[in-house]
């Protein structure tokens, strides 16, 4: 008996050691990655870097036009994907039966789409949005292509947020005489906000850092776009181009990478802040 207890204690120690080793390894890799970008990129950051357009193929100048293009692409993506994802997730979670063949097919399709490589979305966007719809290499084509990538992730996250809610909320709302639609938007939607936030942050992170899909849709042009039908270069493409195709562009590539990370961090903080304020106003 004591031998068995001693063996179990040894196993617990081994599992704990493996967990701590994994956590410490991940933290060390993160700090090594971030310190490298901070050290290499911070020296090139300045006010001019944010307000000037790229010059000499990006070796000199700043990234003002790149930030404008990235923001417009992300805006098109979010304005397209949020209503579609919210409506589809609510339908799957609250209105569609779990046993329907159509519902199972939709869920399986979303899971498959979430795992498709981004370059496939880029080729699809190039054919459908650029050629068939005639949008060409443009901000609009890039944003719509990114919305196709983000849509399955956001739908499944929001759906799981709704499905994780206790069924008592639905029963109480029904007992009070609320219709299905009123119950969803007045009770369940505020309660499912954490799931929406997670899906939105994951979607934004994938969209803003995407390169392969945007090469075929939004293009390489580094000038400031005058409309959504103009071509525009995103930050991720700018970093790729400077580091892979432009000799002497590593300094600005590191600085652009640091800006991209800060951009993602600010967006995540803003989404969390406004969602918490909205959640407090509608629930508390």
**Residue 113 near residue 107 (C-beta atoms within 8 A):** no
Q: For the chain, what percent of residues have pLDDT higher than 90?
A: 8
**Residue 53 near residue 122 (C-beta atoms within 8 A):** no
Tokens 């579609």, located at residue: 84
Enumerate residues 6+ apart whose C-beta is below 8 A from 70: 208, 232, 234, 235, 263
Tokens 């899906």, located at residue: 199
Q: Tell me the per-residue pLDDT of 194-220, one tens digit each, with 9 for 90 and over.
A: 777 777 777 777 788 778 888 889 888
Q: Tell me the per-residue pLDDT of 92-147, one tens digit each, with 9 for 90 and over.
A: 888 876 667 888 888 888 888 888 888 888 899 999 999 998 888 899 999 999 99
Average pLDDT, the chain: 82
- pLDDT above 80 (res 1): no
Q: What's the pTM value of the predicted model, to 2 decimals?
A: 0.83
Distance CA 183, CA 173 (A): 6
Q: Where are the domains of the chain?
A: 2-42, 49-283
pLDDT at residue 139 in the model = 92
Find residue 61's DSSP bridge partners: 54
pLDDT at residue 247 in the model = 83
pLDDT at residue 246 in the model = 82
Least confident of 78-92, 213-227, 242-256, 268-282: 268-282
**Residue 243 near residue 249 (C-beta atoms within 8 A):** yes
Least confident of 11-25, 110-124, 172-186: 172-186
| Residue 54 DSSP SS3 | strand
Number of C-beta neighbours around residue 131 at 10 A: 12
CATH T-level fold of 49-283:
MetI-like fold (1.10.3720)
pLDDT at residue 225 in the model = 86
């Amino acid at each position: 008996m004591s031998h068995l207890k001693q063996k179990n204690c040894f196993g617990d120690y081994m599992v704990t050691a493996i967990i701590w080793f994994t956590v410490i390894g991940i933290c060390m890799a993160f700090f090594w990655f971030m310190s490298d970008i901070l050290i290499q990129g911070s020296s090139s950051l300045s006010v001019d870097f944010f307000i000037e357009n790229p010059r000499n193929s990006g070796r000199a100048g700043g990234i003002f036009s790149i930030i404008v293009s990235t923001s417009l692409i992300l805006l098109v993506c979010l304005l397209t994907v949020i209503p579609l994802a919210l409506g589809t997730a609510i339908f799957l979670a609250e209105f569609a039966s779990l046993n329907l063949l159509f519902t199972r097919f939709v869920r399986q399709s979303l899971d498959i789409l979430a795992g498709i490589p981004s370059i496939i979305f880029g080729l699809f966007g190039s054919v459908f949005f650029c050629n068939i719809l005639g949008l060409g290499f443009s901000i609009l084509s890039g944003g719509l292509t990114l919305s196709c990538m983000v849509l399955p992730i956001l739908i499944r996250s929001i759906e799981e947020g709704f499905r994780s809610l206790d069924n008592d909320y639905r029963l109480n709302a029904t007992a009070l005489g609320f219709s299905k639609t009123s119950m969803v938007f007045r009770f369940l939607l505020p309660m499912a906000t954490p799931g929406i936030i997670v899906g939105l942050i994951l979607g934004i992170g994938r969209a803003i850092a995407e390169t392969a899909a945007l090469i075929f849709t939004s293009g390489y042009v580094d000038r400031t776009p005058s409309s959504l039908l103009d071509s525009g270069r995103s930050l991720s493409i700018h970093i790729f181009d400077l580091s892979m195709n432009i000799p002497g562009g590593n300094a600005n590539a590191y600085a652009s990478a640091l800006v991209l990370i800060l951009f993602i961090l600010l967006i995540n903080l803003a989404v969390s802040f406004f969602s918490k304020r909205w959640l407090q106003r509608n629930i508390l």
